[in-house]
Amino acid sequence: MNKRPREDEPSSSQKRQFGAGGGYGEQEGYSEERISAQRVADHYSARSNQTLEERENSPIIHLKKLNNWIKDCMTRYNGDSDQQRRKKFSFPARLICADCYETRLDEYLREDAPFDICSCQFAMHYSWSTEARARQALANISALLRPGGTFIGTMPDANVIIKRLRESEGMEFGNSVYCITFGEEYTEKKFPASRPFGIKYKFHLEDAVDCPEWVVPFHLFKLLAEEYDLELVLMKNFHEFVHDYVQRPEFADLMRRLGPLGDGRSGQSTLSQDEWEASYLYLAFVLRKRGPPPSQRRANNPNRGKTFLAEEDIEFLSI
């Protein structure tokens, strides 16, 4: 088992592995990445709530359903009054607002941990702007998962993105629903393995995303995760994932209810060709925390959450 470095100090071996320029640059450069991260946060905060009819009229509604991109957390958790009355079972929840790529969560959530599962959907790549942020993200996950616990996530597929960039004539590629643009600093379309952090591009997804994102070379993500006792269980591009799991009856029913792949058996998809092409930009992964599961469960924390949440219940953490 590797001895973990301090979260704020890369070891010399890490500098050799990922390159001394892997995000630990001058304070000015770090501030620039903080500004980019804030732009991402501002983008999602500014998106207004939509009615069901408005969501269904989205030009990428079937892609959204495929991605199962769940938003407006508190409203969805509480449900309307009728939904609340129909709930047969409820579980306590807490809403915490924090940058989990820069804030240590292990001490704050000590009484709630360890957890059986951690989920990070379409967001892990925002940690890859610097090595420090990427390490803090994985440190938080590892510290809060029990041995044998599972980390599931989705992120852009770097292999697909770089391949599409190199196939394009310029620094931009896409279709009617998405567009990816790289800056002129990447004109040669070369990305040395020694500098895997901070490879930024502009991503536009119609009616959903319009902000900077970062390339995550998955083989290096896997190596970094291993330093935090997280071992890879599964990694599949979305197309491969859908092809494999839609064949299984227990998952085909979920596909039918979500709607993006029609009846889940005939193969008739409700996605447009451009939406299906956009889904190829993503991959799904599963990591498992090393070690045998504990013999005893943690003691219940009586303050671990509520079954109905209000604005004043949101906990805001600062760095």
Domains by residue range for the chain, with CATH:
25-316 (3.40.50.150)
Q: Could you read off the pLDDT of 238-254 as tens digits, one per residue?
A: 999 988 888 888 777 77
3-state helix, strand, coil in the chain (%, to 5): 40, 20, 45
Question: Quick one: pLDDT band at residue 266, thresholds 50, 70, 90?
Answer: very low
Considering the chain, what percentage of its residues have pLDDT values greater than 70?
A: 65
Q: Could you read off the pLDDT of 171-214 as tens digits, one per residue?
A: 999 999 999 999 999 999 999 988 999 999 999 988 777 889 99
Select, from the ranges 79-93, 217-231, 285-299, the one with the highest average predicted confidence (pLDDT).
Answer: 217-231
Question: Quick one: pLDDT band at residue 33, thresholds 50, 70, 90?
Answer: low
Query: What gap in Å lies between CA 122 and CA 104, rounded to an integer?
Result: 21
Provide the pLDDT for residue 311.
82
Provide the pLDDT for residue 87.
52
| Residue 283 scores a pLDDT above 80 | yes
Give the closest residue to 163 by CA, choosing from 113, 220, 250, 237. Answer: 237
Q: Which helix H or strand E contains 161, and what residues bound it?
A: helix 158-167
Torsion of CA 102, 14, 125, 129, to 10 degrees: 60
10 in Cβ contact with 24 (< 8 Å)? yes
Q: Residues 287-293: what's their mean pLDDT?
A: 91
Count CB neighbours of 19 within 10 A. Answer: 17
Mean pLDDT of the chain, nearest integer = 77
Give the C-alpha distances (Å, rounded to integers) separating 231 from 3, 101, 128.
Answer: 16, 20, 19
In 73-89, which positions are buried (b, 16+ CB within 10 angstroms) versus exposed (e)?
eeeebbeeeeeeeeeee
Give the closest residue to 91 by CA, choosing from 110, 71, 67, 116. Answer: 116
Residue, of 183 and 97, whose pLDDT is higher: 183
